[in-house]
Amino acid sequence: MKDIFLNFILFICISFIFSTGNLEATDSKKNELRVMSFNIRLGVAKDGENRWDLRKELVVKTIREYNPDLLGLQEVFPMQEEYLRENLPEYFYYGRSRLVDPKDGEACSIMFRKDRFDAIKKSTFWLSETENEPGSKSWDSSLPRIANIVRLQDKQVEGGKLVLINTHFDHRGKVAREEAAKIIKNRVFALEKGAHVVITGDFNSGEGSRPYQFLVGGNLIDTFRSAHPTRTEEESTFTAWNGRLIGNRIDWVLCSSNFEVLSAQINRTHKGGRYPSDHYPVTAKLNYK
């Protein structure tokens, strides 16, 4: 009788341990945040066999396979926006052109899952000396450049408010890139203490560059380097349409230090020798601390 009682107690203890572990795993999975940054290459470019019409299905397939909760897109033209909206209806889309007319030209867009997030506030600022002036540019910037910012309520996480910033730095202006990094860092500093922040973008700057130094550090983490502490030559995020590996990592996912970085990757998806873009998407899995 005593043995039966002891076995029963042991069974209860083991069951409790396993159920607690399962609950913790469920909570951890619920809190996991999947992020993707993806320069999809402007749809009006004369790319021949790599033109938008021939790769748009692969772009959507690449996004669907990773299934991000948060998606920062660069180089989105109106016909691309329309296609993404039609084929990814489970996402809310926010984006506007960097020009004065919000529907004219290239956008720096944000998409997030409708079933997971409520939008609290959405806005755009220009990476210039007049941040609130549409179409403005400064320093040596070749084009107007913007960042889109959304404040979100994560419905899966208690108190799960976060800020997502998505941007695309100038491809020619060295000073403009440095000043853009300062503008974004100042925006992060201005947020309320303890804010959860994610930044996605094509920064046209490599690791160790001055824009990188201005942004990364303090409260902002480079998710890829956190997940892969040893730097290698094969970290290019530019495909050159041929699967290039050696080169600079100019596309980043950054996050505030109150996130745990679970993993981060350069997504090298391709099909039949065709790449979805001239940039590889970059991804990160995060967890709220």
Phi, psi of 286 (to 5 degrees): -120, 165
CATH architecture of 31-288: 4-Layer Sandwich (3.60)
For residue range 233-286, what is the model confidence (pLDDT) as tens digits?
999 999 999 999 999 999 999 999 999 999 999 999 999 999 999 999 999 999
Give the separation between CA 35 and CA 220, rounded to whole angstroms. 15
Rounded to 10°, the helix 52-66/78-87 angle is 40
How confident is the model at residue 118, as a pLDDT? 97
Mean pLDDT of the chain: 92
What whole-number distance in Å separates Cα of residue 52 and Cα of residue 90? 22
The pLDDT score that the predictor gives to residue 14 is 43
Q: Where are the domains of the chain?
A: 31-288
| Tens-digit pLDDT profile for residues 23-78 | 344 455 678 999 999 999 999 999 999 999 999 999 999 999 999 999 999 999 99
pTM of the model: 0.90
Residue 10 predicted with pLDDT over 80? no
Burial class (CB in 10 A: 0-12, 13-18, 19+), 151: middle
Q: Which residues pair with 274 in a beta bridge?
A: 271
Q: Decide: helix, strand or coil at residue 264.
A: strand
